[in-house]
């Protein structure tokens, strides 16, 4: 039997979808799952694609089923499971055989695993994959990290299975070591923020303007025909349009308002603090998810203080559309600034325009706006996107709508943490003389930390009276 071109370990939802995608694109793949019956069932239900799938029942059998030099994708839960799988697999593999971690790994783990692989003289790739089950099956966005030569070995397969934007594969090498997983982490942070801002606008339409779910669906559907055209706006219209088959009520009205998370958005916020690059929209979105889980306290708060959201006057759907547009630009600008800081700190050389291009299709945050962002970053990848001519013009047009929406939300008792954080950051970024001089004076007063003077003088401490 012809040996497989590539292998895959872990036939859960994402692993199975990715394996079928690889087989469908004409690449013979060997698969293994810790539970052998899962492998057997996967092969039995693969239909016509089964001819390109080699099921194996042991790790040794998996390795022998793949032609040298081998490449094996790990689709197992992030963390210790990846380390355990590498430890079990490496003794069976040759020095040139490649392991690819395609799970949602913390980039620090990928940095460590890359260093360990380099010390052992074996190749290792950390690869971010975005798009959920649908993307994995039919075309995800893929962000590779590790030795360029190792990525180049598997690039033909990754490009073949990736999403395509106008025929261009959404699969690119982002840099050495943990670069690929870091880019995926920032992607997920932006995803959190994008979803939160959409939820905030939805809440204002529902509770502030009194629109029902069907009317809200129509608003999202109309927005998806304009500059906000994106996957998340598209599916927001679809979920608002959906009806619960059991009760006949709008599906949104029967879903508990407590959002889960797997931690990647939190990682973005944490790493931004370490890098000293503010991402307040993402931080607000992570915080909002945490607050959403505190149902008992929120119910107690409403009982004690009265319900927050009230009707709002004077807001139009155009205000909300433009506010969401401004918030989206501000969020992405923060994300790309964070990527630039990490690239410099870790010496990765992340190609920011390529990150924007990879995100144009296949991933959750795909949107029409990313093409313009890729162009702006190509012209100057060190410039904050809010200063790129195209996006500066957008913000000039939309920031007053964002201001009206945030003000109306605050006065009407609507929690809009992500939109509010975006506006505050924008105002801080356009204020040449802010208020941190007071903080510097306070720090010098109680801790003799010193300060700089606006006239360039040599003043190191203030004449504070104790």
The string of pLDDT tens digits covering residues 172-201 is: 999 999 999 999 999 999 999 999 999 999
Segment 433-450 mean pLDDT: 92
Question: 144-158 b/e with 16+ CB inside 10 Å = b?
Answer: bbbbeebbebbbebb
306-352 residue pLDDT tens? 988 999 999 999 999 999 999 999 999 999 999 999 999 999 999 99
Q: Known catalytic residue: 184?
A: yes
At residue 349, the pLDDT reads 96
At residue 421, the pLDDT reads 98
130 appears as a binding residue in the annotation: yes
211-262 residue pLDDT tens? 999 999 999 999 999 999 999 999 999 999 999 999 999 999 999 998 876 6
Catalytic entry in 5, 184, 283, 357: 184
Q: How far is the C-alpha of 311 from the C-alpha of 414, rounded, in Å? A: 9
CA-nearest of 136, 137, 134, 113 to 125 is 113
Q: Tell me: pLDDT of 465 over 80.
A: no
Please check whether residue 175 is in contact with residue 215, taking contact to mean a CB–CB distance below 8 angstroms: no
Question: 293-329 b/e with 16+ CB inside 10 Å = b?
Answer: eeeeeeeeeeeeeeeeeeebeebebebbbbbbbbbbb
At residue 22, the pLDDT reads 98
126 appears as a binding residue in the annotation: no
35 appears as a binding residue in the annotation: yes
Q: Tell me: pLDDT of 44 over 70.
A: yes
Catalytic entry in 191, 283, 321, 354: 191
165 appears as a binding residue in the annotation: no
192 appears as a binding residue in the annotation: yes
Q: Known catalytic residue: 299?
A: no
Question: 215-243 b/e with 16+ CB inside 10 Å = b?
Answer: ebbebbbebbeebbebbbbbebbebbbee
**What are the structure tokens assigned to 337, written together?**
């600034």
**What are the structure tokens assigned to 36, written together?**
């052998």
Q: Specify the residue for token string 């395509």.
A: 164
Q: Tell me: pLDDT of 452 over 70.
A: yes
Segment 414-442 mean pLDDT: 96
Q: How far is the C-alpha of 301 from the C-alpha of 442, rounded, in Å? A: 35
Q: Tell me: pLDDT of 1 over 80.
A: no
Q: How far is the C-alpha of 296 from the C-alpha of 30, rounded, in Å? A: 49
Instruction: Give CA separation, 94 vs 69, 335, 413, in Å.
Output: 8, 39, 62
Q: What 3 state SS string does the chain have?
A: CCCECEEEECCCHHHHHHHHHHHHCCCCEEEECCCHHHHHHHHHCCHHHHHHEEECCCHHHHHHCECCCCEEEECCCCCHHHHHHHHHHHHHCCCCCEEEECCCCCHHHHHHHHHHHHHHCCCEEEEEEECHHHHHHHCCEEEEECCHHHHHHHHHHHHHHCCEECCEECEEECCCCCHHHHHHHHHHHHHHHHHHHHHHHHHHHHHHCCCCHHHHHHHHHHHCCCCCCEHHHHHHHHHHHCECCCCCCEHHHHCCCCCCCCCHHHHHHHHHHHHCCCCHHHHHHHHHHHHHCCHHHHHHHHHHHCCCCCCCCCCCHHHHHHHHHHHHHHHHHHHHHHHHHHHHHHCCCCCHHHHHHHCCCCCCCCECHHHHHHHHHHHCCCCCHHHCHHHHHHHHHHHHHHHHHHHHHHHHCCCCHHHHHHHHHHHHHCCCCCCHHHHHHHHHHHHCCCCCCCCCCCCCCCCCCC
Phi, psi (rounded to 5 degrees) for 6: -155, 160
Q: How far is the C-alpha of 308 from the C-alpha of 311, rounded, in Å? A: 10
142-173 residue pLDDT tens? 999 999 999 999 999 999 999 999 999 999 99
14 appears as a binding residue in the annotation: yes
Question: 62-87 b/e with 16+ CB inside 10 Å = b?
Answer: bbebbeeebbbbbbbebeeebeebbe
188 appears as a binding residue in the annotation: yes
264 appears as a binding residue in the annotation: no
43 appears as a binding residue in the annotation: no
Domains and CATH numbers, the chain: 6-177 (3.40.50.720), 184-429 (1.10.1040.10), 439-466 (1.20.5)
At residue 466, the pLDDT reads 63
Q: How far is the C-alpha of 372 from the C-alpha of 384, rounded, in Å? A: 14
At residue 279, the pLDDT reads 97
96-139 residue pLDDT tens? 999 999 999 999 999 999 999 999 999 999 999 999 899 999 99
Mean pLDDT of all residues belonging to the chain:
95
């Amino acid at each position: 039997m012809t040996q497989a071109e590539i292998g895959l370990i872990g036939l859960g939802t994402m692993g199975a979808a990715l394996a079928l995608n690889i087989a469908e694109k004409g690449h013979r793949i060997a698969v293994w799952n810790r539970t052998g019956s899962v492998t057997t069932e996967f092969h039995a239900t693969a239909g016509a694609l089964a001819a390109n799938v080699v099921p194996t029942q042991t790790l040794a059998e998996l390795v022998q089923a793949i032609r040298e030099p081998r490449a094996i994708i790990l689709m197992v839960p992030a963390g210790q499971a990846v380390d355990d799988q590498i430890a079990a697999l490496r003794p069976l593999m040759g020095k040139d055989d490649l392991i690819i971690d395609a799970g949602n790994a913390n980039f620090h783990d990928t940095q460590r695993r890359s260093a360990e692989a380099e010390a052992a003289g074996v190749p290792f790739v950390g690869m971010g994959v975005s798009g959920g089950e649908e993307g994995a099956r039919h075309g995800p966005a893929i962000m590779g990290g590790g030795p360029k030569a190792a990525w180049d070995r598997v690039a033909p397969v990754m490009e073949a299975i990736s999403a395509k934007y106008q025929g261009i594969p959404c699969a690119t090498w982002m840099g050495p070591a943990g670069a690929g997983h870091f880019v995926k982490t920032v992607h997920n942070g932006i995803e959190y923020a994008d979803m939160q801002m959409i939820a905030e606008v939805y809440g204002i339409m529902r509770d502030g303007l009194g629109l029902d779910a069907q009317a809200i669906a129509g608003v999202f559907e109309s927005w998806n025909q304009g500059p906000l055209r994106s996957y998340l706006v598209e599916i927001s219209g679809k979920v608002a349009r959906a009806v619960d088959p059991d009760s006949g009520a709008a599906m949104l009205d029967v879903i508990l308002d407590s959002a889960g998370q797997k931690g990647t958005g939190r990682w973005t916020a944490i790493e931004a603090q370490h890098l000293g690059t503010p991402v307040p929209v993402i931080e607000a979105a992570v915080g909002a998810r945490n607050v959403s889980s505190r149902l008992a306290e929120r119910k107690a708060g409403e009982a004690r203080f009265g319900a927050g959201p009230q009707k709002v006057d004077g807001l139009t759907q155009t205000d909300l559309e433009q506010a969401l547009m401004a918030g989206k630009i501000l969020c992405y600008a923060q994300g790309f600034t964070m990527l630039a800081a990490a690239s410099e700190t870790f010496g990765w050389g992340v190609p920011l325009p390529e990150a924007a291009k990879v995100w144009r299709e296949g991933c959750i945050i795909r949107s029409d706006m990313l093409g313009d962002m890729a162009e702006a970053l190509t012209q100057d990848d060190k410039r904050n996107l809010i200063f790129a001519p195209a996006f500066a013009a957008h913000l000039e047009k939309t920031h007053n709508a964002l201001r009206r929406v945030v003000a109306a939300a605050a006065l009407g008792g609507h929690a809009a943490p992500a939109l509010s954080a975006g506006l505050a950051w924008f105002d801080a970024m356009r204020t040449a003389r802010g208020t941190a001089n007071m903080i510097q004076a306070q720090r010098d007063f109680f801790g003799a930390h010193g300060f700089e003077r606006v006239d360039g003088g040599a003043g190191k401490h203030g004449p504070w009276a104790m």
